[in-house]
Amino acid sequence: MFQPLSHNELMIMRKAGKAAADILKRLKKVIKPGISTQEIDSFFKNALKGYPGMEAAFRGFRGYPASLCVSVNEEIIHGIPSGRVIQKGDIVSVDLGIKYKGLFVDAAHTYIVGKVSKVVRKLVKVTLGALYVGIKKAKVGAKVGDVGFAIQKFVERNGFSVIRKFVGHGIGKDLHLAPEIPNFGKVREGEELKENYAIAIEPMVSSGSFDVDILGDGWGVKTKDDSLSAHFEHTVAITKKGPWILTQ
């Protein structure tokens, strides 16, 4: 279940969140044609050395073998970094977590590499927009379903699909905490959001069907119809003053 966090704990998460935001911003200049997804992982590991006490949260989590996830084109999430080389026209989703002083943050960003079609640009723009639509609903007294409903309505109104098999989550003293934070739902349904909760809101959006397949490595997830996918994520604290984005 949700674990309310103290102000000091939220400030620790905020410090880690600033590091996550900084690294994701720096990756925009790194993710270019010719770089491998393994090199993106190495960049993250090296970048973390500049933030004393912080470590990659994903490595070893439930047996995951890398420091972050890199998912390309039809891949949605959990792509294991490899020798795969990024090409012009790819869209690349990077999901990373940071552990700092026993607390966790989680964030993701989708990067456009070179020229892509208007539809692909719209997919990425709508997914990012859906993230902030969901965050806006993350207030004290709101329900989990309020967040999911807002995201789903925004995405589907723009002609895309929200992935249903994978969802956001509570976060704080562990990387993944109950309850789930789906990107779909019904108004006023689900658990109530209370002060000093922290949640990871992460729209995963497909340009086609929301059905998915698991890759042969047992980790990567792709769209079943090979349609393109985008993914954005922030760690958000629920406060009396409204949602506080910890990873920006």
Say if 1 falls within a structural domain: no
What's the whole-number mean pLDDT along residues 74-87? 99
Q: Is residue 2 part of a domain?
A: no
Q: Which amino acid is at 3?
A: Q
Count of domains for the chain: 1
Share of the chain above pLDDT 70, in %: 99
- In this prediction, residues 172-194 reach a mean pLDDT of 96
Say if 231 falls within a structural domain.
yes
Indicate whether 17 belongs to any domain. yes
Give the domain range for residue 199: 7-245
pLDDT in tens, 7-37: 999 999 999 999 999 999 999 999 999 999 9
- pTM beyond 0.95: the answer is yes
In a domain, 170, yes or no: yes
Q: What is the pLDDT of residues 127-142, one digit of tens each?
A: 999 999 999 999 999 9
* CATH code, domain carrying 225: 3.90.230.10
The residue-averaged pLDDT of 48-71 equals: 98
pLDDT at 193: 96
Mean pLDDT, residues 196-207 taken together? 98
Q: For residue 186, is it within any domain?
A: yes
44 inside domain: yes
